[in-house]
Structure 1
Amino acid sequence: MHVLVVHNRYSSAQPSGENRVVDQEAALLRAAGHRVDLFERRSDDIAGRSLLGKARVPLLVPWNPAVRTELAARLRAERPDVVHVHNVFPLLSPAVLAACADAGVPVVATLHNYTQICSPGTLRRNGRACTECVGGSSLPAVRHGCYRDSRLATVPVAVSLSVNRRRWWSGVDRFLCVSSAQRDVLVAGGMPAERLAVKHNFVPDQGTRRTAPGEHLLYLGRLADAKGVGLLMTVWDELAADGGVGVPLVIAGSGPLEREVGAWAAGRTDVRYVGLYDPRECERAIERAVAVVVPSVALETFGLVVVEAMAAGVPAVAARHGAFVELIEDGASGLLHQPGDAASLARSLREITADPDRNRELGQAARRRYERGFSSAVGLERLLEAYRTAIAGRSGGGDGPPPTEQSGDGPLTEKNGTGSRRDTRAGRDGGRT
């Protein structure tokens, strides 16, 4: 299969899970013998533009006509089987959809966040959940300055959301949500349910496994309020005052709370703030962890660090909402705590560290869950299934609407002509593989 991946790469100053997913999927497809080409822009390049060029960037967010022309010409010349769109902000714009329509190429789009129904894509404002714009006008986002706390910066984002909503919904043959929780929110926000399928992100098996009880609890991620970093620090202070849990807390990452976390950890023996780890350091830190801690107070669409821990046979302690509920089997492959609840998080941290034998069992179950639902083999199967269904639908070869449901571990499914469901792994290839 020939796939053209369309992606606006996020700034390298802030590690991006989305960039990593794009790169891992491309590598997975190539390793399986498929041709993968890239049509991309890089946000890093904005800094090198002239003053006038930088001033023009906001104008390109809703629509970049040059991108439409360039991409359409490339599609006509190369004729890929399918285009896979990830991020188009800020330099590509939804003009990529018009280019695909011009060339008659089917489109699959992965939705990594909530930008289809929320200008900043987070469903949060001022540290709290917010759905004021969902299903309606984007004017509240402008009024509140939801993107980067700036009304001026929010205007082009809100305009793009408003004027391109229908273009997205009609121009994409298959939307891939990274969790059922995300899909439920997007459908409630008005997106067409028949075009939204669930395809969890996969994590490559790096071959690292935990072989000892573990040396530390690990927080690995962005240092921001929405990620529950403040809650974790509060809970850890309470645990320390009560004698601790027997292992130190390691915090790795960067973000707006970096200075605060560094000052909090300074001089302590029960906390180590290590800054930003490279990929190999992340693997080693996970491999040596008693558990990874993911106390996010935001409604996360996925949790890569949870699945990375699963792959290493390490359980996770995470908030009981969003995607974490479908990633972790509470009490079987990890522990879930009440979101934002300090006492609940403290109980979970005590429990995960109290019994090494139970912890080992949780880790082994997490590894089995990874193999069943989040491995490279599973990721490849579901990705190709999405492409084939989009191709068949565009060519008129489909026998029903796009898939609308997927279980946590099962294949993509679709309705057949009788209205029942069948496993689409069994041989429909769309004629274009």
Structure 2
Amino acid sequence: MRISGLRIALFSGNYNMTVDGANRALNRLVEYLQRQGATVRVYSPTSDDPAFEPQGTLVSLPSIAIPTRAEYRFPLGLNARVRGDLEAFDPHIVHLSSPDLSARAAARWAQSHGIPILASVHTRFETYFRYYGIGFLEKPCEDWIRGLYRRCDALVTPSAGMVEVLREQGMNDDISLWERGVDRNIFSPDRRSLEWRRSLGIADEEVAIGFLGRLVMEKGLDAFADAIDQLAKRKIAHRVLVIGDGPARGWFAERLPDAVFAGFQGGTNLGRAVASLDVLFNPSVTETFGNVTLEAMACGVPVLAARATGSSSLVDDGVTGLMVEPGDAAGFADALARYIADPELRRAHGAAGEERSRAYSWDAINQAVADTYLRLIAARKGSAAPLA
């Protein structure tokens, strides 16, 4: 079997309701698959006010709003309408991208129909509980997720570090890489704009330390703020530039009263904002890859990151950026102080990161997922048909 003619049922918890790394990756995958002649039906909660137009044919899942997080909805399984749609579509493979109730129901449906299942792992959901004062739920959540992933024929995840985490957790025996690409038409050192910085009140000589991403606690906002507090106590001159928005904006603004909040940026405006940073500070430990890290690297911006599954596969410590143990506020502050004091170090690490980022082509990366689909379908049929 070839990609052309392939019918893929993709289940997502949030396909185009917010702009985040996982959603952008899934939509790019669907666009690539359809360009190769595949048909993709996407089953996801939907919104009256989606963040962007989706790729593929979107089928609405039954869902409820998540309290305090209005931008998300929680899928509730498969009702008769969705099951009928699945039966009529008759997919060759089922792709699960979020370990929720609908994904579990879809896995049961696929198993009962002899259809192979691939799950893509985009974030470490089990770690979220520690940021909301209910860390005791982390282990039960991990066990619950394992129950789903063990039903799957294979998993794909964006980083080698995350492959090892999933293996250590006993999630599955067949785990491979689906990395992330970067759009070099958007992210480039040429996008840097001192004029845009000046419009925000940031002087040319000031070192802009950037936070990039959704403003939610699980992105490590507390660790970021603690490190900036350390710089202030040491009287080290700097500016903080926050790119993004989210429900924790108020909390973050209160913790960082002198920061500049540029809000949500998209397309070429996002590329301009990222390239206009002097350092990207990414303290998060929840990502499986770290799209924001790759985007900063493509813009020639050095990265300070937590030594965690996402960033550790991208940042070469001391070459393309600096790595610090998660939550080490003093260590993060030391690393930021090095960058602030040494513009040549920033330039060298930024240039090395930009060169490294050139290896990440979206089409080649998405072909790896298509190859995995074909491998699983051939294995289920007991065929040794070559991949195409």
- Contact between 1:202 and 1:379, CA under 8 Å: does it hold in 2? yes
Q: How does 1:247-258 map to 2 (within 5 A)?
A: 247-258=238-249
1:287 aligned partner, one-letter code: A
Structure 1 residue 219, shift from structure 2 partner: 0.3
3-state SS of 2:312 partner: helix
In the aligned structure 1, how far is the partner of 2:75 from the partner of 2:30?
27
**86, 90, 96: which one aligns with 1:71:** 86
For structure 2, the 5+ residue unaligned runs are 51-61, 66-72, 195-203
2:277 aligned partner, one-letter code: A
Q: How does 1:145-160 map to 2 (within 5 A)?
A: none
In structure 2, the residue matched to 1:111 is 121
Instruction: Quote the sequence identity (%).
Output: 24
Structure 1 residue 328, shift from structure 2 partner: 0.8
Structure 1 residue 327, shift from structure 2 partner: 1.5
- Contact between 2:121 and 2:288, CA under 8 Å: does it hold in 1? no
In the aligned structure 1, how far is the partner of 2:64 from the partner of 2:356?
46
3-state SS of 1:132 partner: helix
In the aligned structure 2, how far is the partner of 1:13 from the partner of 1:275?
18
Structure 1 residue 230, shift from structure 2 partner: 2.3
1:169 aligned partner, one-letter code: R
**97, 111, 115: which one aligns with 1:86:** 97
In the aligned structure 2, how far is the partner of 1:228 from the partner of 1:204?
25
In the aligned structure 2, how far is the partner of 1:396 from the partner of 1:13?
39
Structure 2 residue 370 is the aligned partner of structure 1 residue 391: no
**351, 355, 358: which one aligns with 1:364:** 351
2:38 aligned partner, one-letter code: R
Structure 1 residue 9, shift from structure 2 partner: 4.8
Structure 1 residue 197, shift from structure 2 partner: 1.7
For structure 1, the 5+ residue unaligned runs are 139-160, 399-427
**202, 220, 226: which one aligns with 2:181:** 202
Q: How does 1:405-416 map to 2 (within 5 A)?
A: none
- Contact between 1:199 and 1:382, CA under 8 Å: does it hold in 2? yes
**269, 275, 279: which one aligns with 2:263:** 275
3-state SS of 2:140 partner: coil
Q: How does 1:15-414 map to 2 (within 5 A)?
A: 15-31=19-35, 33-44=36-47, 61=76, 64=79, 66-75=81-90, 80-87=91-98, 89=100, 92-114=102-124, 118=126, 122=128, 124=130, 126-127=132-133, 131-133=138-140, 165=147, 168-170=149-151, 172-193=152-173, 195-211=174-190, 216-245=208-237, 247-266=238-257, 268=258, 271-296=259-284, 298-372=285-359, 374-397=360-383
Deviations 1:69-99 (A, max 9, x none): 3212211xxxx55443323645x34232344
Structure 1 residue 17, shift from structure 2 partner: 2.4
In structure 2, the residue matched to 1:425 is none
RMSD of Structure 2 on Structure 1 (CA): 3.4
Q: TM-score, normalised by structure 2?
A: 0.77
- Contact between 1:302 and 1:324, CA under 8 Å: does it hold in 2? yes
In the aligned structure 2, how far is the partner of 1:322 from the partner of 1:204?
22
Give the aligned length: 352
Structure 1 residue 265, shift from structure 2 partner: 4.6
1:68 aligned partner, one-letter code: R
In the aligned structure 2, how far is the partner of 1:349 from the partner of 1:275?
23
In structure 1, the residue matched to 2:14 is 10
Deviations 1:17-63 (A, max 9, x none): 222111111223344x332422323242699xxxx9969xx997356
Deviations 1:351-396 (A, max 9, x none): 2233333322212221222222x32243134223322322222222
3-state SS of 2:278 partner: strand
In the aligned structure 2, how far is the partner of 1:252 from the partner of 1:59?
27
Deviations 1:386-407 (A, max 9, x none): 2232222222235xxxxxxxxx
- Contact between 1:213 and 1:356, CA under 8 Å: does it hold in 2? no
Single out whichever of 303-312 and 223-232 deviates more from structure 2: 223-232
- Contact between 1:218 and 1:285, CA under 8 Å: does it hold in 2? no
- Contact between 1:261 and 1:273, CA under 8 Å: does it hold in 2? no
3-state SS of 1:175 partner: strand
3-state SS of 2:246 partner: coil
Structure 1 residue 346, shift from structure 2 partner: 0.7
1:39 aligned partner, one-letter code: V
3-state SS of 1:280 partner: helix
Q: TM-score, normalised by structure 1?
A: 0.70
- Contact between 1:7 and 1:88, CA under 8 Å: does it hold in 2? no
Q: 1:349 to 1:127 in 2, by over 3 A?
A: farther
1:429 aligned partner, one-letter code: P
In the aligned structure 2, how far is the partner of 1:323 from the partner of 1:173?
24
Q: 1:185 to 1:109 in 2, by over 3 A?
A: same
- Contact between 1:309 and 1:315, CA under 8 Å: does it hold in 2? yes
In the aligned structure 1, how far is the partner of 2:75 from the partner of 2:278?
47
- Contact between 2:94 and 2:117, CA under 8 Å: does it hold in 1? yes
